[in-house]
A = this chain, B = another copy of it.
């Protein structure tokens, strides 16, 4: 069964405050890094999954993202599939 790699990016919705990002931005200013306009911290989840085909792999990861990776009240997510360079045959 082929194996697929995917990356799910989870970011706070634009209307949601990001205190950790704001604290990092302030720390950067104190460090002397100039010109920062915005800095927002999200999650990046690297997944490897085997499935009969890419559609099925995508379906499983979409379910995972909706149910476990993101909180839909405050977060958005995007999925990028990356087929493995050499797909294993099992």
Contact = CB atoms under 8 A, between A and B. Distances in A.
Interface residues of A, number: 36
Given A64-B28, A67-B31, A37 B48 contact: yes
Interface in A9-55: 9-11, 21, 24, 27-28, 31, 33-51
A63 interface: yes
A43 B43 contact: yes
Given A24-B68, A68-B27, A69-B24, A34 B47 contact: no
A38 B61 CA distance: 12
Interface of A: 1, 3, 9-11, 21, 24, 27-28, 31, 33-51, 57, 60, 63-64, 67-69
